[in-house]
Amino acid sequence: MNGAESLVRTLVAGGVDVCFANPGTSEMHFVAALDRVEGMRCVLGLFEGIVTGAADGYYRMKGTPASTLLHLGPGLANGLANLHNAKKANSGIVNIVGQHAVYHIEHNAPLTSDIEGLARPMSQWVRTSPSAKTVAADGAAAIAAASGAQAQIATLILPADTAWNEADGIAQVPAPEQRANFHAPAVDVAAKLAKEGETTLLLLTGSALTEQGLALAEQIAGKTGCKVISQTYNPRMARGQGRFFVERVPYVVDSALPVLKNFKNIVLIEANDPVAFFAYPNKPSVLKPEGCNVHRMTANGENSVAALEALASAVGAKPSDVKPQKHAELVKPTGALNHASIAAAIALGIPENGIVIDESITTGRGFFAPTAAAKPHDWLQNMGGSIGFSTPVATGAAVACPDRKVICMVGDGSAMYTPQSLWTQARENLDVTTVVFANRNYQILKGEFDNVGAGAMGSRALDMLTLDRPNLDWVSMAKGMGVPGVAVTTAEEFSKALDNANASQGPKLIEVIM
């Protein structure tokens, strides 16, 4: 068995049985090993941002890592933006990058580069395997680093000769770290603060946004009167009928400040201290009001559900303390497409147990409240702000959950970063409906131009923020990649297109012309 085969066998034995790949010459022995080893599903992405984003979506839905296969420094570099997003989402990925044979590196061939240097900012764990004898053990260590409570981006660099030379066999994966429990004294402090009622905010993300975590937060809020809000962006949130609806801290600074202004205490449950996405002249970076105390109850990797159970018990909260919530009614929209009618159609179009990937940018800013009473679903957001995240993440989520429908909502500007996802969805027959909001603008940046005080917009500046000349034709692009598409211009047409998409399995695209 050569090194590549020892690695693939170690991956499969260690539970990493999906590999999102875009290989080159230095990875050919890994590719060859796929033919000899049963049990590895290999999914080709036609750009590395698809590969790394898909691995992020896979982890968020499955809770265990997939592997990638990337081609030297440039392949890794193409995938870095979505690795950045995945790292911010605390996703685990076994990120495998090919390298020249060790003896070839000194010759400075065209593809030679500092791969470790490129990997480090977007990986918490980086190792170059020194020989075919060590590849299996290094692969096992990468799996352990990408799994468990503190899942990481683990980049394993695989020189070509370590792949083709003779190996010793496969390696056992060390037991990953278990999710740490929580600190009881931190819960005691949170209990004291929660009892102060509406001047205390529980700020949630991570495992606190599971159905179970939210149900406990709802009981605590019902009993004590404290408020519960989620971070602006969250890796995954359980939402829809029967689940506790929580608002998010608004993205826009001027909207976030009034939401937070009356809190004397913020209890962080995996969440970060609320800060503005960007700095703006004469606006604060820190969004909490002056004098507000921040207390951390749990950090990423800790068991927030167990901590919320302890908090509920400390304040005496029970299921009967839950206060009923009134949600926006679901009504089929008619007439023109606008943010409200689009939201109403989406709310009815989310299928039972659906997975929603949200990169809707300005079109979707108001989607949360109107979709509160949609069928139960999970909602995934971009944690790192690098656009081009959603269609790859949708691809990986669909691979992870073949029995759930994925709805990917994406602005046309964002969708143009990683449109190749559609080809992978067609090839793998993934159940993804991509909804592109074709406003033919970088709409958000028009607002940001004002917000940073850039002055009056002239025609050359405007040209940098518009996507016209020519207009993008999403239905044709989808067709070219094997995905059937339809363009809609009214609310009725949009609802019908969503119903049609839900009526059958497989990838589809809806271009919402705004």
Interface residue list for ligand TPP (CB under 6 A): 81, 361-363, 385-387, 411-414, 439, 441-445
Cα gap 498→501, rounded to integer Å: 5
* Pick 368 or 442: Cβ nearer ligand TPP: 442
Question: Least distance in Å: CB of 260 to ligand TPP?
Answer: 24
The two tokens of residue 330 are 């679901």
* Pick 412 or 511: Cβ nearer ligand TPP: 412
Q: What is the DSSP code (8-state) at residue 270?
A: B
Cα gap 449→412, rounded to integer Å: 19
Q: How far is CA 238 from the centre of its chain?
A: 14
* Pick 203 or 342: Cβ nearer ligand TPP: 342
Question: Least distance in Å: CB of 390 to ligand TPP?
Answer: 9
Cα gap 205→422, rounded to integer Å: 30
Question: Least distance in Å: CB of 476 to ligand TPP?
Answer: 18
Question: Least distance in Å: CB of 421 to ligand TPP?
Answer: 14
Q: What is the DSSP code (8-state) at residue 483?
A: -
* Pick 146 or 488: Cβ nearer ligand TPP: 488
* Pick 171 or 407: Cβ nearer ligand TPP: 407
Cβ neighbour number for residue 426 with a 10 Å cutoff: 17
Q: Give Cα separations from 220 to 77, 217, 226 (angstroms).
A: 45, 5, 8
- Closest C-alpha among 265, 298, 287, 398 to residue 90: 298
Cα gap 271→209, rounded to integer Å: 11
Question: Least distance in Å: CB of 264 to ligand TPP?
Answer: 34
* Pick 53 or 411: Cβ nearer ligand TPP: 411
201 pairs with which residues across the strands?
Answer: 227, 266
Question: Least distance in Å: CB of 196 to ligand TPP?
Answer: 38
Question: Least distance in Å: CB of 34 to ligand TPP?
Answer: 31
Phi, psi (deg, nearest 5) at residue 266 = -120, 125
Phi, psi (deg, nearest 5) at residue 490 = -130, 165
Which residue type does 82 have?
N
Cα dihedral 428, 85, 433, 359, rounded to 10, equals -160
Question: Least distance in Å: CB of 59 to ligand TPP?
Answer: 21
Which residue of the chain is nearest ligand TPP when measured via CB?
Answer: 411
* Pick 81 or 345: Cβ nearer ligand TPP: 81
* Pick 49 or 222: Cβ nearer ligand TPP: 49
CA atoms within 13 Å, Cβ hemisphere of 54 = 35
Question: Least distance in Å: CB of 44 to ligand TPP?
Answer: 23
Question: Least distance in Å: CB of 53 to ligand TPP?
Answer: 12
Q: What does the DSSP assignment read for 398-467? A: HHH-TTS-EEEEEEHHHHTTSTTHHHHHHHTT--EEEEEEE-SB-HHHHHHHHHTT--S--HHHHHTTB-
* Pick 301 or 384: Cβ nearer ligand TPP: 384
* Pick 64 or 395: Cβ nearer ligand TPP: 395
* Pick 67 or 443: Cβ nearer ligand TPP: 443
Question: Least distance in Å: CB of 416 to ligand TPP?
Answer: 8
Cβ neighbour number for residue 343 with a 10 Å cutoff: 21
Look-up of token digits 């669909």:
398
The alpha carbon dihedral of 116, 120, 122, 124 has a sign of: positive
